[in-house]
Amino acid sequence: MDKRIRKNWLLKWGSRLEPKPVPVLEFSLPTMNPEDILFSTANSPTQALGSAAFRPTSSTPGKLVVHTFFSIQLKSTFRIRRRGRPQLHFHFGRPLHAHIMAASFVTLFQWRLNSMLLQENEILLGVKDQIESLISKLDAVGSFTGDADRILGRESCHQSWASELRGMLCEVEDFVDDFIIKVYGQTEKDREESIAEFGNELQNINSRVSEILNRRPRLEASLMLEEIQRFLRSKFVFDEDKETALASCMLNYINLPYDLKLSLLFCCAFLGRYGQTKGALVRVLVAAGLIQDKPGELMEDKAQENIEKLINQGMLEEDEYDWDCFEVPSPYYELSLSVMNAEEFFISTANSDSIIPPTARHVSIHDAENTIPNMNSLLHSLFVSAKKGPSEASYDCLETVLYNAKLLRVLHLKKLELKSLPDEVGKLVNLRYLGVRHSKITELPGSISNLRNLQTLDISWSGYEFELSNGVLNLAQLRHLRMFRPRNDGEVRVPPGISRLRNLQTLEGIYAGGGIAKELGNMTQLRSLEVRCLSDDHADELYASVTKLTGLRNLSLTIERNRIAYDSSSSLPYENSLFPCLESFSPPPLLETLKLKGCLTEMPLWLGSMENLTKLYMCWSHLSENPTTILQFLPNLKYLSMFHAYKGKRMEREFFRAGGFPKLEYLKIDSHNLVEWTEMEEGALPCLKELRFWNCIRLMGLPEGLQHVATLQKLVLFNVHGDLTRRLNPDGGPQNYKIKHIPLVQSYVRSCGWMVWKT
């Protein structure tokens, strides 16, 4: 006899559109077909299992009862193939209750309190014991919510309790932020009164936390997900070549540590559907307060660890077109988007006309058009990017938003084409991150000097005439300063005294003349430095200063363009702009990334001894000797981009020896001169994953021996000679044997467009 079942499986069958509900029916397991799956109109377990209005009818026996009452319907579709039968298409969803977010906020708020004790120790000395007591109580709360996080079936009392807890934490966080903002600038007497009031309120907060702890509901573990997975495994085969099962994504997300959950949500809010560099993600996570501040440790290092963990979990992946950038894969993006919007705490939308709920603390608007919607005064993070520059009305909208958002910590504006920033930005004393990219701004408001907590200032792709004012020297907490203007060589002049910024780790886009090169030698805390418009008059000073920066990890040097010899119609703008003698330069020992943009007379010998170098960009070098003769012996080089680095027409066997480039994963060659790459020894490039030929318009053949690079996953041929693509074509191309083992080959020829070959 067939065993009848009635389970609350959270399955939904159909397209991305919501299926129409139908009455509750029953299903017999051994005879299940797609037509056997029907859906319940029940919207709660009580209705599904007890109410007469939803009992199964006898007119349609042998059907599966599928109840779909849950709080979030995820939109990612994945395919499940029943053994021996055609594919079925399912939507899979499950309740993602406030427990998931509550546990994260408990941990995050503990970090905020610990960080506050470190940074404001003198001010908070009188209330230190109360703060430590609160941290201790939050430990107990966090332990409970952590257990709740791992339990998938919960009653409404658990949901209500977790929502109340999160709401209280948000109120307390706002109260703490208000206090910190208030005490700055107060007289000693007023400050004492404020601290006393703060202490009284902390007592009330401790009492409220104790009361919430006493009311925590009893948890009952549920094996719902395990039951679902057992059923799916017994009846279906997951087609993982198509898409990762969303059930697995959910389980991975639920099992993430609290800080990684919030890190993933922030990555989604910041990235949207676009890629960003790892460094940009690091800066946003630190500014948002998601990284615990510990004495003797850099928060940026911990943020980088978190990002690496998300990459290893498959929750961040390399951008298809930019090896340096990362994006959130579609299943995790949809999952995170559902969590954000359902909680109404994080809001991510593509519509600038959207109504933002009053509970939203973090808002991301992608592809904004004309306006920025009104926001509440509790806003902590705002990300706005535009397809094209909105009207002048957006300035007024931004002014209104900033006037109300006194608690704002992160403000990222991209492609808004603003000509100036409102003065209100200088009143955001809680601001940690200010990014204004692709704008027409020529100067920052004078009030910028009030941003005493600012950690990141990113004004890349600003107006042509942008200059940095002296006010930036008052930003004592500044850790990252990134600049670029689309004029001349992109350099921005910084005011004398820049070395006063003792917390600065990143300094990019600067002109080092006028005494700045010498100042840089005092900034030993720098980890990333980009100098533009380098010239003979300050090169020696700069080289001497950079040698002193023993902690430097990233260095980019761009030579001043020779405007007399430069032909504006040429695609080789630095062909006659020579680097001042690099032989006198001694690179810092920990350097990992090096970018050299300018003409070299010969390869610097010290390049061959950089054991920690992992990324090398050589642009417009125009070397007569092939640089790979030296570079192939670098033990840790993973990424090599040669943009007009070599003037030769041939690359031969000796340039790619067996065992050469032992860790190289990415190789990009851009050359108008290269005609032939004849051969490479078997055993060369043993770890290569991606090979790109860019604008190699004369290249007629790929090297013999490429077929032995078994690790190669992707080959890109962009704007290459049409004869080369014909020779490599899988339909009878005589050189196709060299690339037929590569899973993905992309070719672009101007006359034909993109062609994609998959093996």
Compute the C-alpha angle 555/561/567, nearest 5°.
Answer: 140
Q: Is the same domain home to 337 and 385?
A: no
Q: How many other CB atoms are there within 10 angstroms of residue 658's CB atom?
A: 14
Helices 188-214, 128-149: axis angle to 10 degrees equals 30
pLDDT band at 505 (very low <50, low <70, confident <90, very high): very high
| pLDDT confidence of residue 109 | 74
Percentage of the chain lying above the pLDDT 90 cut: 37
- Residue 557's nearest CA partner among 527, 530, 536, 528 is 530
Same domain, 535 and 547: yes
| Torsion from C-alpha of 286, 288, 290, 295, nearest 10 degrees | 50
Q: Do 185 and 142 belong to one domain?
A: yes
Q: Note whether residue 251 is domain-resident.
A: no
pLDDT at site 254 = 73
Residues 693 and 586 in one domain: no
> Which of 348-357, 473-482, 606-615 comes out lowest in average pLDDT?
348-357
- Final residue before a domain boundary, out of 466, 487, 508: 487
Q: Which of 68-72, 386-390, 665-669, 693-697 has the lowest mean pLDDT?
A: 68-72
Question: Does position 212 have pLDDT exceeding 80, yes or no?
Answer: no
What is the predicted pLDDT for the residue at 299? 93
Does a structural domain hold residue 642?
no
Percent of the chain that is helix, strand, coil (3-state, to 5): 35, 20, 45
Whether residue 664 is contained in a domain is answered as: yes
Q: Give the pLDDT mean for 481-508.
A: 91
pLDDT of residue 79: 30
The pLDDT confidence band at residue 124, using thresholds 50, 70 and 90, is confident
Q: How confident is the model at residue 370 (pLDDT cuts 50, 70, 90)?
A: low
User: What is the enclosing helix (H) or strand (E) of 545?
Assistant: helix 536-548
User: For residues 611 and 290, which has the higher predicted lDDT (pLDDT)?
Assistant: 611
Residue listed under structure tokens 């005490």: 183
Q: What is the pLDDT of residue 511?
A: 95
Question: Mean pLDDT, to the nearest integer, of 173-182?
Answer: 80
Q: How high is the pLDDT of residue 295?
A: 83
- Whether residue 243 is contained in a domain is answered as no
DSSP string, 123-148: TTGGGHHHHHHHHHHHHHHHHHHHHH
> Which residue among 420, 454, 487 closes a domain?
487
Span of 77-91, 331-345, 352-366, 604-618 with lowest mean pLDDT:
77-91
Residues 350, 338 within the same domain: no
What is the average pLDDT across 46-67?
42
Q: Pick the more confident residue, 427 or 126.
A: 427
119 lies in some domain: yes
For 3-20, write each residue's pLDDT tens digit: 333 333 333 333 333 333
Tell me, what CATH number does 315's domain have? 1.10.10
Mean pLDDT of 593-598: 96
Q: What confidence tier does 612 reach under pLDDT thresholds 50, 70, 90?
A: very high
Question: Confidence class of residue 337 from pLDDT cuts 50, 70 and 90?
Answer: confident
Q: Does 33 have pLDDT greater than 70? A: no
The predicted structure's pLDDT at residue 225: 44
Mean pLDDT computed over every residue of the chain: 76
- Half-sphere exposure (CA, 13 Å, Cβ side) for 681? 12
Distance of CA 76 to the CA centre of its chain: 21
- Torsion angle of C-alpha atoms 305, 310, 311, 315, degrees rounded to 10: -170
Residues 36, 53, single domain; the answer is: yes
The model's confidence at residue 364, banded by pLDDT at 50, 70 and 90, is confident
Q: Specify the pairing of strand 528-534 against strand 554-559.
A: parallel
Same domain, 175 and 264: no
Measured CA to CA, the distance from residue 59 to residue 73 in angstroms comes to: 30
pLDDT of residue 92 exceeding 80, the answer is: no
Amino acid identity of residue 599, one-letter, is C
Q: Is the pLDDT assigned to residue 330 strictly greater than 90?
A: no
Q: Are residues 443 and 432 in the same domain?
A: yes
Determine the pLDDT at residue 699: 93
Spatial distance between the Cα atoms of 414 and 461, rounded to a whole number of angstroms: 10
pLDDT at residue number 113 = 75
Tell me the sheet residues that pair with 28: 4
Q: Is 90 part of a structural domain of the chain?
A: no
Q: Are residues 366 and 296 part of one domain?
A: no
Q: In this predicted model, what pLDDT tens digit does every residue of 391-423 receive, in sequence order?
A: 455 677 888 888 888 889 999 988 887 888 999
Residue range 274-297: mean pLDDT, rounded: 88
570 pLDDT more than 70: no
**Across residues 22-36, what is the average pLDDT?**
38
Average pLDDT over residues 707-719: 94
pTM of the model: 0.76
Q: How many domains does the chain have?
A: 6
Distance CA 670, CA 186 (A): 60
Q: Tell me, what's the pLDDT at 72?
A: 32
> Closest Cα partner for 740 from 755, 731, 730?
730
Percent of the chain scored above 70 by pLDDT? Answer: 71
- Per-residue pLDDT for 211 more than 90? no
Does 632 fall in a domain?
Answer: no
- In this prediction, residue 318 carries a pLDDT of 84
Mean pLDDT throughout 149-154? Answer: 41
Residue 637: inside a domain, yes or no? Answer: no
pLDDT above 90 (res 325): no
**Range 223-240 average pLDDT:** 43
Q: Within this chain, do residues 504 and 612 fall inside the same structural domain, yes or no?
A: yes
pLDDT at 55: 41
206 and 287, same domain (yes or no): no
- pLDDT, tens digit, for every residue of 429-475? 999 999 998 888 888 999 999 999 999 999 988 877 788 989 999 99
Segments forming the whole domain that contains residue 309: 256-342
The 3-state DSSP class for residue 558 equals strand
Q: What are the beta bridge partners of residue 39? A: 66
Residue 413 belongs to domain with CATH number? 3.80.10.10
The reported pLDDT for the residue numbered 268 is 86
Among 290-304, 346-360, 566-580, name the one with the lowest average pLDDT.
566-580
DSSP string, 287-349: HTT-S---TTS-HHHHHHHHHHHHHHTTSSEE-SS-TTEEE--HHHHHHHHHHHHHHTSEEEE
* Mean pLDDT along residues 680-706: 93
Nearest to 678, CA basis, from 708, 702, 654: 702
Per residue in 630-670, pLDDT (tens digit) is 999 999 999 999 999 999 999 988 888 999 999 999 999 99
Q: Is the domain of 323 the same as that of 358?
A: no
Separation CA 419–CA 443 (nearest Å):
9
| Domain limit, last residue, from 342, 359, 378 | 342
